[in-house]
Structure formats: structure tokens, C-alpha cells
Amino acid sequence: MSPLIPGDILGGTWRVVRPALGDEPGVECQVEPTQGGEAGRLTLWRTLRAPSRAEIEHFTHVLSEAQRTGHAAFAPVVDAGYDEAREGLWLVRPWWSGESLPSMLRGLHDIGLDLPDLRALARQLAGALTAARSAGLVHGRLRPARVLVASGPAGARLSVLDVGLEHFRRTHAAGWLKPPEGGADYLAPEWKENGPLPASTDVFAFGRILRDMLASRRDGAWKGRWESWVERATAPAPHERFGDAAEALDALLPILNTLPTPVSPPPDNYQPEPPDPLVLPPR
């Protein structure tokens, strides 16, 4: 499958504007309608054969179920289709101004993610998973690359992508829709088992994603305070983990309240004032 590049047209409707960070290069991008309108985020998945019209319609229906929960983290599906030239199934959501979680974490200083943002993102991600579970939905392949984050006047916010994709692949497209690449560290051991996806897989992924956020502070100030929480959230056996994301969050918030607030580092061009020669140093 050839990568998407600016100027490409998909479905006769969507023009590629620029790449967007995804699981692998060339499969996610910002698009705009060829006849004008709001920008979208297009994702492309490799296939081994062309799906039927009924399969595309069912794919669209399954990936639209999360938005019906009403949770703000789930973006609506705008359009979907199949590109024969690239042998790929594609889906468009509204464009979301932000970046992937890995991209955001890579850009942090050694003091890591601000605690207010960490709390906000943990609450929102747990809330999204809880809303999905209440509707009978399991992500099943949650990983940082499928979490978009942005900052705004009200603080950090996130969007969760691809709820329903793994369920559709397993139940309707195992023979022709290739699984996404990457994210193996966020797959629970029971993910490899056949049958319906258990909700415990999302608890495992939640723990691994929060581990990445907590480990973003690299100066050692938080060391030894949160590791036991991650160990339980990502325990090999599902019954040893928290029962759901809400229970995991309830156990995490008191830990976050004990973490020392980091001091922002000085700017790169900062130069401290020289000591006053007339002032004696303290004894």
C-alpha cells in the first residue's frame, strides 16, 4: 500500500492536506473536502481484499457506536470507504487540533507532565473507557498513538480513536483486515485468546498509558510512589487487576495528590545574576 501524500484524493471527495502522526507513516493525514468544507482526520487500514458495500456499511456502523455514548472523547464518523489503488479501508473523523500522546510526552522537560494535566487526562481517559463499557464496548487495542491530546483554556483534553475497530476486525474481517502495527506493549496477555474482547484488556492498556505519563518525570522526584499502582493495573492475570478503569482511577488519584509539584525549568537563554560581592555568604 502506497503512503498518502498531499494532493491525493480518496473516494473522490477527500483531498490529503498533510500527514498526521499515527501508528505508521503514510496512513493518517489531515484531509479537506474537494468541494470545500470542514477539515477531517483520515485513517487508512490495509486489507487483503476489497470489502463489499455491506461490509463497509457495517464497519461504519460499528465504529460509530462509541460516539452514541455521548462522551466528548469519541469523535463522530464523517465518512468511510475503500481505496482500490491503495487496497485500504479508510475512515474520516472531524479534524482535532492536538497531537498524539507520544508526541506530547516526547516534548516535555525532565520534570514531566504537569500534575493538573495528568489528573485531567487520567480522569478523561477513565471516563471514556467507563462510558464505552457501559454501552457494551471494549476498545481492545488501546495504545498511546490512538489518544490525541490538546491544551486549552479549560486545561488538557483528549480524544480516543478507533473504539470498535478491533471488535470489527475479529468478528467480521479477521481474514481480510490487517491488524494495526505497533502497540504490542499495551496488549494484555488475554488479548491473544479467541472470542469476544474482555474489558480487562482496556484496564491493562489504561495502566500502561498512565505509566508513560507518570514516567515522564525523569528527575527521580516521583520514583517509588506510583509503581505499585501500575503493577496492579497491568498484572498478567485479569483477576489481579483493578475491576475497571473507574476503580483504577479511584486508586490513582490519592497517589497523584502525594506527588511533589515540579518547578518549571528556566528558559534556555536564562543566565543567573552574579552574586553581590558586598554580601557575605551565610555561615
Task: List pLDDT tens digits, range 1-38.
Answer: 678 899 999 999 999 999 997 667 678 999 999 999 99
- As a whole number, mean pLDDT of residues 256-263 equals 83
Q: Report phi then psi at 60, rounded to 5.
A: -60, -40
pLDDT of 264 reads 54
- As a whole number, mean pLDDT of residues 140-162 equals 93
pLDDT of 150 strictly over 70: yes
pLDDT of 262 reads 59
Q: Kindly write down the DSSP assignment for every residue of 185-216, as one continuous string.
A: GGS-GGGGSSSSPPTHHHHHHHHHHHHHHHTT
Q: Is the separation of the CB atoms in 42 and 77 below 8 Å?
A: no
Could you tell me the domains of the chain?
Answer: 9-94 (3.30.200.20), 99-258 (1.10.510.10)
Residue the block writes with cell 518547578: 263
pLDDT of 283 reads 55
Q: What angle do CA 129, 131, 132 make, to 5 degrees?
A: 65
Task: List pLDDT tens digits, range 61-95.
Answer: 999 999 999 999 999 999 999 999 999 999 999 99
Residue the block writes with cell 496488549: 187
